[in-house]
Amino acid sequence: MKKVRSLKAHLTILFVVLAAIPLLIVGLLTIFYLTDTTEKEVTKKNNLLAQSMAGEAERFLQEPLHALEEFGDNFLLNRAFTEDWFKMYSRNFLKRHGYFQSVRVLNEKGIVHFIAPFDIDYVGIDMSARDFFVNARMMKRPYWSHVGLSIQFGVPSTSLAIPYEEFTVVGLLNLISLRDIIERELTSEHGYVVIADQLGNVIAHKDWRFVEQQAKMRGYDVIRDALSKGENSIRFFVDDVEMIGTFAGIPTAGWVVVVVQPAEEVFGQINYVRNVIIVSMVIAIMLAIILSAASIERILKPIRLLVRGTGKIAEGMYDMEELRDLRQSYLEVEELTNSFDAMGEALSNRERFIRESEQRYRNLFSSIRDVIIVADQDRLILDANQPALRELFGYEIDDIRGMSTSVLYASDEEFNRPGREVFDSALSIGGKLLETEFRNKEGTVFKAELFALKLIDSDGKVSGNIGMIRDITDRMRLEEQLIHAQKMEAVGQLAGGVAHDFNNILTTIIGYASLLQIKIADDEAMKSHVDSILSASERAATLTRSLLAYSRKQIMQPKPIDINETLRKMEKFLIRIIGEDIRLDTVLYTGPLTVNADPGQIEQVMMNLATNARDAMPDGGGLCIRTELVTMDRKFIERKGYGEEGVYALITIADTGIGMDQETVAKIFEPFFTTKDVGKGTGLGLAMVYGIIKQHDGFIDVESDRRRGTTFYLYVPLTEEALSPALGITPSIEPNRGSETVLLAEDDSVVRELNREIVENAGYTVIVAADGEQAVDVFMKHKDDISLLILDVIMPGKNGKEVYDVVRTVKPNIKALFISGYNEELVQAKGVLSDGSRFVYKPVPPNMLLRAIREVLDLSETGHN
Amino acid sequence: MPFRTFTALFLSLCIFIPLIGLFGGCTPIEPVKVGYVGGLTGRHYDLGLSGRNGASMAVARINNDGGIGGRQIKLIVKDDKQDPEVAKKAVNELIGEGVVAIIGHMTSSMSGATIPIVNDKNVVMISPTTSSSDFEGKDDNFVMLYPSTRTSAGHFSSYIFNEMGLRRVAVIYDVSNRTYSESWYENFRSEFKKLKGEVVSGKAFTSGEEESLFAIARELLEKKPEGILIIANALDTALLCQQVRKIDKNVSLMTSEWAFTADVLKHGGSSVEGVVFIEKVDLESEDPRYMEFASEYEKLFGRLPDFAASKSYDAVQVLAAALRMTTDREEIKDAIVRKHVFQGLQGEFVIDDYGDAKLDHFIVTVKNNRFRVIRKL
């Protein structure tokens, strides 16, 4: 990643550069200019000096050359002369030209022929190997030998050789005079002048030791190079000290004069200027840094505060109070601060909106009663709605966050198969609903519905899924209950329907059998048969009533009764039913438990339950009956899965019998379901109990255990009405006979004829009608005669109640007896009952019919009383 | 705001210091100082100058190659003027200037004068050419790169007697370098005697102080020797040869290695033709190192190198090899002895525990004014 430079560093560098660059440029230009001009000046001056010295040296060399040439020429002319001439001439010559130390004449072989001053050692020796001899003869011109220290005289000397055809004249020249040339005053303090020979050996130097030691001049090679290129000045180093050498050649001998001056001395002034520039630059840079530090601080302070501001915003603090001061600094900063402020406010608002939105979402999420699990691609739990999770699974989200969702499933099987199926479907087709089993923190396995959706991230990519787990325990129980209720209802419908028609049949059988019994009173054998018919018919009628009771179509005559009272009255009867081997305990609620109930039906219920208890305890045991006052609230209803809020009288009937398995318990209230041997039970006992309690708007529950026996719970809603004395009907002990005229309306012709015969046999005058219309017509004809209407409730044309209503418009005090097999009919007939009309349900035994007729007729009379 | 000011000053310094470097140059690394002492003036100047030239070349070469561990060598040159007192003064001055070692002297007499000083001051002196047997086999601070006169004299007497067939030999020797020349003379005489040869005369002379070399030559020839052995510097040898040849064209002339420089040819001319030398440097060596050295030397100094130049070059290389092991001047002798084998211009050579080098000997003569190797002994 590219490194980001700080603004401060950048600006500081910029300041420094701005301060230093112009100074640097000016300084460098100045230095270059000064260096150039100074060097040129010094070089020019030194060059003049070198040239003048070279000129002098040149002249110094020209003089002996001319002298020796003259010597040679004379020798050539006077060769014929003897040694004496040479002695004389050379003595004068040496005296005249003091710079010659000696003069020799060598023959063509290089052997010394004459030497002056005379030296025996040198006469006759071979000098053919000497450079001056070799070079002079080779070049055929005067030659200056390399400079050496004269062995004889201890001074720097050079041999000048001038070749002639048959001899060579050699003069040994003392170069000590060169010292005078170079030891002129130099303006330079550390400078010096050197004369070097062809090999670079120092032949003149103010420090004469260099000459004596035949030292090679330092830098000679570069100087020689430069000289050959026509240059006259060069820089070179002596012991790491830079020198400027300015030079001029001495062509005659091939020597060079070099004026040497240390560069430091030449450029001293420039160095001073350079130092001044450096110091100025440093000062300028320092000032630039200080100034930049101060002004940058002023620029950077707002930025730093704004940076701090962004930090605060990042931490969620939107108060920009400390930025207020910045408004005073710069216009741009003020604009920036204002927009920053606005941004802070906008961010604050947006964040609040997001927070509220988040809170709404969170509330929504938490309030959902289904468990919502957010999982990633690997099915690891990311989040869940805590309340539902705790409620259903008992976990806290932090217990399971990051764990696999397998922790929630009942087993790996559920996790891998249905769980995977739903997960995959969520990712592919977008969701599938499955029922599967889960396990809560306690380890309890339960059934739930699982549904999943894709989890889409902010980039629109699938990043996992959202699983919804809905507990369906309650729903399943309700469903079972509904199915059960529907089944019971269907059976009830069936039973009720059958019972209606069956009652008519039984009415006929019983009626005619009763008539037959009267007619064959003397024939004992026949009477026995008819008695059997009547007995069987009676049983069939009871059966029909039971069915009607179960189907809740039995005619109920409810009134406020105290359940405790009813049970107390029944106690002895119940003891008889259960027998001696079974002990009866009765624990009754201390206060009255007033319910709106048909006492006869309540007795029927208790009787049936006692009978069942007895049969469950063939070897004896205990039966406990208890009454309580209970309140059903919402919790109770949720727990039990049934009920309706209110106050109830609870009758608990518990036995210590053999108990039942759950399968049996589930079917116990179904009609014709029995565990008893064939013939021992009808399978309607408990069905009746169920029907009666339901008809009383109550609830029934049963718990059974193979070891502890069975307990029934009967809940009957409590009424607040005061206990009222029962409107008991005093059974007539009078013969049920009469002479009144009766209108009998019955659509079933067989029943109509049976009842006409029964009623007529009892002394009444009977006018019959086949339906409601006819009944009204007949009544209108005999309205003054007819005292009582016997009406079937259900008839074609006009039903019983409609007939009754019409008749009453003509004869308001007319008495009526309704006959029906349906409770609904009773309802239709309601309203007339209290007006002295009565109701009997099919099948009606003849004596009961006659008694009812008598009662209605008598009642009205009583009423009149 | 003091902190900011401080930062500003600090930054200024950060910029200022490199600028000083930019404009003001930098402090040089202290060089390793090495002394050179030899006779640069006077009659024996030839060995001194050649030695100085060879040593300077070696120093330049080493410095060009990066010096000693990055340090340059600085050669401080002193002239002993062939005067024992001057020599002592020069050596003391060099030690005072902090040299790690001294290359020199070039003659035995001068070495003899200053060996006590270097032993006392514990400074190594490596002599390229000193060869008096007086200094041989001593565990001191004096390192001799040139084998002693004893071996040379032994070899040479044997050659003269057996190969040249001479039985009567006159000897002339220069007592201005007495330590060397007398040692040579004595060694030669005893060895030659052992071979049944006869030294018919032994003439001592002092360089530059004699009236006439011609008279000396005449005196030597009076005894009718078959050959004359000259133990003198090149100039004197050349002049003596010139004198002898003026009188006798046939007598054999021999010289010690002292005269084996270009000057003998320069000043001797045809008189030195056929003179026989014993030498420890092969001037015709085809070792590429030597050839390169010789060619460069000629370019720089206008003549071919002689034994003094090449041995001085070797002496500096010996010292450099030791300096690469230590720059502590008290440990240099040990380092040289430990190193034992050195690379010279003409191949490897050995320095023994006493600091004495072992070299081959060559018999050389002059033909057409050039040295010619006759034989390697």
Write the DSSP string, A637-678.
HHHHS---SEEEEEEEEEE-S----HHHHHHTTSTT---SPT
| B74 has a chain A CB within 8 A of its CB | yes
Chain B: residue whose CA lies nearest to A154:
B42
Q: Where is pLDDT greater, at B7 or A446?
A: A446
| Residue whose entry in the numeric block shows the structure tokens 């809740």 | A552
Question: Cα separation of A792 and A810, whole Å?
Answer: 20
Q: Where is pLDDT greater, at A324 or A606?
A: A606
The total of other beta-carbon atoms located within 10 Å of residue A615's CB is 19
Question: Cα separation of A192 and A202, whole Å?
Answer: 12
How far, in Å, are A668, A764, B92 from residue B327 at the CA level? 121, 165, 20
Percent of chain A with pLDDT over 90: 3
Structure tokens at A227: 């000289």
Question: Cα separation of A155 and B138, whole Å?
Answer: 40
The residue of B14, B27, B43, B49 whose CB has the most chain A CBs within 10 angstroms, and thus the best one to mutate to test that interface, is B49
What average pLDDT does range A236-242 have in this prediction? 80
Query: How many residues comprise chain A?
Result: 865
* CB pair distance less than 8 Å for B16 and A282: yes
Nearest to A136 by CA among A175, A97, A105, A177: A105
The answer to whether B118 and B142 have CB atoms below 8 angstroms apart is yes
How far, in Å, are A772, A837, B161 from residue A791 at the CA level? 8, 11, 189
Intra-chain end-to-end CA distance of chain B, in Å: 88
What average pLDDT does range B345-359 have in this prediction? 87
How far, in Å, are A22, A567, A623, A685 from residue A577 at the CA level? 131, 14, 12, 14
Q: Where is pLDDT greater, at B119 or A458?
A: B119
The residue of B29, B41, B106, B368 whose CB has the most chain A CBs within 10 angstroms, and thus the best one to mutate to test that interface, is B41
Nearest to A285 by CA among B337, B247, B108, B16: B16
A359 CB burial (10 A radius; 0-12, 13-18, 19+): exposed
Question: Cα separation of A309 and B242, whole Å?
Answer: 108
| B23 has a chain A CB within 8 A of its CB | yes
| B12 has a chain A CB within 8 A of its CB | yes
| A16 has a chain B CB within 8 A of its CB | yes
Query: What backbone phi and psi angles, to 5 degrees, belong to A757?
Result: -65, -45
Q: Where is pLDDT greater, at B11 or A32?
A: A32
Q: What is the average pLDDT value for chain B, to the nearest integer?
A: 86
The residue of A10, A24, A121 whose CB has the most chain B CBs within 10 angstroms, and thus the best one to mutate to test that interface, is A121
CA distance A109 to chain B (A): 10
The answer to whether B99 and B34 have CB atoms below 8 angstroms apart is yes
For residue B255, the model assigns a pLDDT of 93
Nearest to A463 by CA among A473, A454, A452: A454
* CB pair distance less than 8 Å for A214 and B45: yes
**A47-85 pLDDT tens trace:** 888 888 888 888 888 888 999 998 888 888 876 667 778
The answer to whether A845 and A510 have CB atoms below 8 angstroms apart is yes
For residue A819, the model assigns a pLDDT of 82
**A405-430 pLDDT tens trace:** 888 888 888 888 877 777 777 766 66
* CB pair distance less than 8 Å for A216 and B301: yes
- Concatenated DSSP letters for A118-185? --TTTTT-B-TTSHHHHHHHHHTS-EEPPPEE-TTTSSEEEEEEEE-SSEEEEEEEE-THHHHHHTSP
Q: Between vectors from CA B373 to CA B372 and to CA B377, what angle results, nearest 5°?
A: 160
Q: Sorting pLDDT into bands at 50, 70 and 90, what band is A442?
A: confident
What average pLDDT does range B300-315 have in this prediction? 88
Query: What backbone phi and psi angles, to 5 degrees, belong to B234?
Result: -65, -45
For residue B117, the model assigns a pLDDT of 92
**pLDDT greater than 70 at residue A860:** no
Query: How many residues comprise chain B?
Result: 377
Question: Cα separation of A50 and A47, whole Å?
Answer: 5
Quote ipTM for the complex: 0.76
For residue A479, the model assigns a pLDDT of 81
SS3 B171: strand
For residue A720, the model assigns a pLDDT of 64
Strand A582-587: give its sheet, edge to edge: A582-587, A621-632, A646-655, A709-717, A699-705
A181 CB-near residues (< 8 Å, 6+ apart): A53, A56, A57, A60, A195, A204
**pLDDT greater than 60 at residue B12:** no
Structure tokens at A470: 């809905």
B4 CB burial (10 A radius; 0-12, 13-18, 19+): middle
Alpha-helical runs (H) found in chain B: 2-24, 45-64, 84-96, 108-121, 149-158, 178-194, 213-222, 234-247, 262-268, 288-301, 307-323, 332-339
The answer to whether B147 and B65 have CB atoms below 8 angstroms apart is no
| Residue whose entry in the numeric block shows the structure tokens 């000193």 | B130
